[in-house]
Chain A
């Protein structure tokens, strides 16, 4: 299927995307077809690979709206580092992809461009594809997952702050990688919560995911949180020491029981159990583990991400760029707050406004200690939980042990989401359920760990289910290798 995409000429590819996307709404805009490049003597790694880019990643030749009314007509003066790297690798960046506004949401329904419709249709369905059951593509990178699932792109860039890559990957049945925090440059990626934001990669299979990841996995001096070449090298050496054979027989897989909550649906549990059994039968060691801080992770995540979001959203004030809504005539102009309030109330959607308010509260002098500082402490506990179970040491820790822990595990395996894609329209968009979806994905975000969602085989009538592979920081290669075993 991937081959058929690259065979199309850039021009025909765009026409095909346009036609298909009318039923998906994954694309916000498309780039003009690249001028036919002169024949190169050397094929570039991503030569002519069609790649879509989440609309939170800046492109100088297309608008970057973050699906927000605030940036509806905004074009960045520069390309994000990841976009430059893709272009240099020969990729055809076909367009910008829909998402939840500023990455805030789990269903891709909070978008000024409208919701993304999951392109999946069970094989047993008899209705035309265009008339299929309308379900959510997941969020916030719903457009990225859907564009890959609908085979409109070979791969897509997403972002992942608390699960925004893994959840839509699971709902749409594609591969989604959230790399270790700091490996892929965030220069040019619009911030939601800087300490958690990662650029993610989505594709139809692990091998394409790896090709794109390898292209982007470079140090960038423009990103102050970019992992140093030294840290990268130490992590990769530690990963190799821990799992030197890359064989399933030497792989130790941890199953964290906190990630199998009562809310987990059977349609998810059954295929995940089957996947674990398959790996076990092929020689992997399955180890039950406990990550006791998991129940607190979600609240810590919402405090930290909302606090950082409230800070990052402050720049959208209608003064330098973006939306500016003039005050109605007769307004008292001496109160500047009313100017900001007007533009921001109109420009931001309900979900973003809600998180700004939550984050603003968490940072007030009275609440700071009880919310923000507490959340940071929980974040440390979550990190410590992971360090206790992995046999690869944490090279970023101030006191890293070089010794590989023989009792520890190489990766953790757990469901990517508690259910399959929920129907659009009937979804509980504002209730607690939406947040609970994130419960399985935020711990890896808080700890900055690589996490990969791989689609699992299901029956003809079932919706896609993803399983997550989580590794120690910097062990992205291990995670991808395990993903490959799951795929085969």
Chain B
């Protein structure tokens, strides 16, 4: 059998086993990631106080339970369970018919009860996987568990005081743990991006690392290629993909240096990451690791997930990003690059109806039958281009899909020219609160393409030549580029209604 006939995954697997990284030739890097994603539920995991967003007044979303007042008891929020189920379904994990909650004990001022309720002994889902670009086999998922977030403590060095904000205390978290399947900092980054996109698409989490709604702990080990995996170190609390990748690179070099020494040992450690020096530092050794004294929570009992509940969750699952991508390619015949542009627009923020893919869907489905690639051009190159020029993002887009759709229809039906369309878009963006429809606005701007008797192209061209005598002379002397300036004068005078090709031909014949 020829190599080219082998199943691609087999071939890729062989290639991967021989993976050489120019940064560390001869070494294999093994990475596993634990992500903590804040669950996007209205209320906290075990209390009825609302979840909060960054920048809110401290300590306003706090119930006696969140502050661990004596006599309070937890009550499981089923919305959090549903979002965990969605995540498990998206990752193809095995949802456990019975799971339970455990207390993880440690003393810290951001943990009012002295324990975190988590799922140590029986998590809600086991197994699963996530596909990332340039890898044929999925990154295997070990488990998904539900747990509480802590409060937020901040230290003011000037006054030497710690402040505690309980707004976050008790917010639901999804802990998603991979097997040690990642082989490079770039793969680690791709995994987190794919996870973010998925979590956002199903509405389980904002997945925003900068805002702290997604945090990563990364396990890294190195070994000479062909030898068993090395001892891993865990780097805690990485809050951006960039820093995560820097941390992994630093860690690979550090561990390689240790292994190149005579005694050749990497001590198992928990390490932190310094964002200023881009270096990791030792927090504690394996021997110093705290004993969390896990205990089954005596109040919460067993959480049973009936097959019917999984079935009904599957039925209401939003479209997953990798399914959306295939749909964009097949249904609209977008190029891979264009499809990824749309998907990336969505992965930057929350979406659903407000997302870029949904906007594009509506433009194509509700609007005139226009080639989807033309629609894409208007939406991305024209609309988004203008927004970006004004330092805005797609979320700031003031135009509804029906407004943009009407504009595209005007151009498509030749009621206005493409140039007029762009002018109209500019006007619509400049005054988005206007009650005028795009057609009414085009009319008021005198943009509706005139019939030939209304617009005398030859007269306009003659006027242009008269108005720009030196340019006309230069053209006659052979400076062909000057024609564009004369043509521009005509287009401006016609308010874009004239057909530029027709004007060009007319000017050339008049100037000869």
Contacts and interface: CB of A to CB of B under 8 A. Distances in A.
Given A188-B71, A311-B103, A195 B298 contact: yes
16 contacts: A58-B71, A66-B70, A76-B71, A77-B64, A194-B73, A194-B299, A308-B298, A311-B114, A315-B68, A315-B70, A319-B164, A320-B68, A320-B69, A363-B294, A363-B295, A368-B293
A330 to B, nearest CB: 15
B70 A319 contact: no
A320 B73 contact: no
B69 A76 contact: yes
B67 to A, nearest CB: 5
Nearest to A341: B107
Contacts of B450: none
**Closest 8 A-B residue pairs measured CB to CB?**
A314-B114, A363-B293, A195-B298, A194-B298, A315-B68, A188-B71, A190-B70, A58-B71
B281 interface: no
Which of A190, A221, A317 is packed against the most chain B CB atoms within 10 Å? A317
A71 B69 CA distance: 11
A311 B299 CA distance: 12
Interface of B: 64, 67-76, 103, 105, 107-109, 112-115, 160, 164, 291, 293-295, 298-301
A320 B67 contact: yes
Contacts of B74: 224
Contacts of A190: 70-71
Contacts of A317: 107, 114
Residue with the greatest number of chain B CB neighbours at <10 A, chosen from A64, A307, A363: A363
B109 A319 contact: yes
A337 B107 contact: yes
A202 to B, nearest CB: 20
A321 B69 contact: yes
B281 to A, nearest CB: 16
SS class, residues of chain A in contact with chain B: loop
A314 B117 CA distance: 13
B105 to A, nearest CB: 6
B291 A314 contact: no
Contacts of B299: 194, 224-225
B100 to A, nearest CB: 12
Given A77-B64, A195-B298, A320 B112 contact: yes
Contacts of B108: 336
Contacts of A313: 114
Contact of B107 (A189, A224, A336): A336
B71 A187 contact: yes
A310 B115 CA distance: 11
B298 A193 contact: yes
A314 B113 contact: yes
B301 A319 contact: no
Contacts of A321: 67, 69
A368 B103 CA distance: 13
Contacts of B291: 364-365
A106 interface: no
A225 B293 contact: no
Interface string A407-444: 00000000000000000000000000000000000000
B109 to A, nearest CB: 5
Nearest to A314: B114
Given A307-B295, A311-B115, A224 B69 contact: no
A80 interface: yes
Nearest to A319: B109
A278 B114 CA distance: 53
B158 to A, nearest CB: 15
Contacts of B294: 363, 368
Contact of B113 (A223, A315, A363, A364): A315
A315 B105 contact: no
A340 interface: yes
A58 B73 CA distance: 13
Interface residues of A, number: 45
A171 interface: no
A193 B164 CA distance: 28
Contacts of B73: 186-187, 194, 222-225
Nearest to B114: A314
A340 B114 CA distance: 11
Contacts of B72: 187-188
A193 B69 CA distance: 16
A360 B290 CA distance: 13
A221 B75 contact: yes
A78 interface: yes
A164 interface: no
Contacts of A337: 107
Contacts of A310: 293
A95 B187 CA distance: 65
A191 interface: yes
A224 B301 contact: yes
A213 interface: no
Contacts of B67: 320-321
Contacts of B69: 76-77, 320-321
A259 interface: no
B208 to A, nearest CB: 28
B295 A311 contact: yes
Contacts of A195: 298
A8 B282 CA distance: 71
A195 B299 CA distance: 7
A390 interface: no
Nearest to B289: A365
A463 interface: no
A195 B301 CA distance: 10
Contacts of B160: 333
A336 B295 CA distance: 24
Given A64-B70, A307-B295, 4 more contacts: A76-B71, A191-B71, A313-B114, A363-B105
A317 B74 CA distance: 20
Given A311-B115, A319-B109, A319-B112, A71 B70 contact: yes
A224 to B, nearest CB: 5
From A224, A225, A307, A313, name the one whose CB has the most chain B CB atoms within 10 angstroms: A224
A82 to B, nearest CB: 11
Nearest to B64: A77
A348 interface: no
A301 interface: no
A363 to B, nearest CB: 4
A480 to B, nearest CB: 27
Contacts of B109: 319, 336
Interface string A454-469: 0000000000000000
A86 B511 CA distance: 103
A363 B68 CA distance: 21
Contacts of A193: 298
A58 B64 CA distance: 12
A120 interface: no
A372 interface: yes
A191 B70 contact: yes
B272 to A, nearest CB: 16
Contacts of A71: 70
B293 A364 contact: yes
A135 B124 CA distance: 53
A363 B292 CA distance: 9
A76 B103 contact: no
A314 B107 contact: yes
Interface in A98-112: none
Contacts of B113: 314-315
A308 B67 CA distance: 19
Contact of B76 (A78, A191, A224, A314): A224
Interface string A168-199: 00000000000000000011111101110000
Contacts of A189: 71
Interface string A343-370: 0000000000000000010011100100
B115 A314 contact: yes
Contacts of B105: 311, 314, 363
A109 B83 CA distance: 50
A63 to B, nearest CB: 12
